[in-house]
Chains A and B, each alone.
Chain A
């Protein structure tokens, strides 16, 4: 797995997203810029300028028409992917920490930060997937998190639920139409902030990463805990791989106690676990600081990681990756068919 190193950001990466066909990779960072790259060769396609604060989050609608972004300048912006033009700005009272389109791109959720008398919220914006259309200012739903602020959120299958991870380590399921809180589960250790939440491709289950050093696989239908992946470091990100039953976790202790020698080796690692058996099966070194974000090509050909070090590393999976399997998987004919 020889990675392609993408050098285009000047500060820590905050989120990476692939387009649905996996051909283009978007990255955002604290340097206030969004970059688009060809995932096959790492060539930079373009940049999106306009935000006046650190960028925290991006997402792409399923038709690869619109790009949404959220930032510390208290705005959500909508961009025409092809021209790079900003076509809509929604203003909020606080920073926007997470945005995500639902499965048909007509709804965008935004998680807003708690600060100075403002409670954290999850807001739903109705979107027209058309770069010429007038976008509505209205919030079609506002969920207020009065217990513990949401840090991450996503849409379930059929846009039925909004699933949120919170600062206190709990995970919530909200009715996506009414905004009612249906379930709140203490999935992670108390105070083990949920740092990432990524859906499976059919959105029936998802993975969470937490500062409590674990990642968890959870059913979107009823928040049943399916699997637990323990690690030895606070986690910032977790992703589910299509094609192979793995999950990828990223994190790392902040630089404080890292000596110059060890940091020169780029020892911060992406950790691969078997999704079903919960065992760690491999690590990929390379970053010079904690991994903040990991994304997997929706077609399962590779993955990308973004680090506190300001780099994006794009990896193509090799033969060994696709051939890997447990004996019991081979028995059942589950390995080797691509």
Chain B
């Protein structure tokens, strides 16, 4: 019985983490899109040089974190 309870609890934590992570990734994606659009408006290149690309790989976005 204890084990079932424990598993349930674990499951709930994992579920919550999934939610939090998806929410974050969605927010990053939205921010990155908005920034790109604003850069276009200003006549700048969409992508912000290598360093931000490196960060995109990391930090943010839909790519990899």
Residues of A at the B interface (CB closer than 8 Å) are 20, 157-158, 200-202, 204-205, 219, 221, 226, 240, 242-245, 276-277, 298-300, 326-329, 331-334, 337
Contacts and interface: CB of A to CB of B under 8 A. Distances in A.
The SS class assigned to the A binding surface is loop
B39 interface: yes
Interface centre among A204, A326, A332 (most CB of B within 10 A): A204
Main secondary structure of the interface of B (DSSP, over half): helix
B55 interface: yes
B21 A202 contact: no
6 contacts: A158-B42, A201-B51, A201-B54, A204-B31, A221-B31, A277-B17
B9 interface: no
Looking at A221, A242, A298, the one whose CB has the most chain B CB atoms below 10 A away is A242
Contacts, number: 73
Interface in B25-65: 27, 31-32, 34-35, 38-39, 42, 48, 51-52, 54-55, 57-60, 64-65
A244 to B, nearest CB: 7
Interface of B: 14, 17-18, 20-21, 24, 27, 31-32, 34-35, 38-39, 42, 48, 51-52, 54-55, 57-60, 64-65
A161 to B, nearest CB: 12
Contact of B21 (A226, A242, A328): A328
Contact of A276 (B14, B20, B35, B57): B20
B64 to A, nearest CB: 5
Contacts of A244: 58
Given A204-B35, A329-B65, A334-B64, A277 B20 contact: yes
A329 B31 contact: no
Contacts of B54: 201, 242-243, 299-300
A328 B59 CA distance: 16
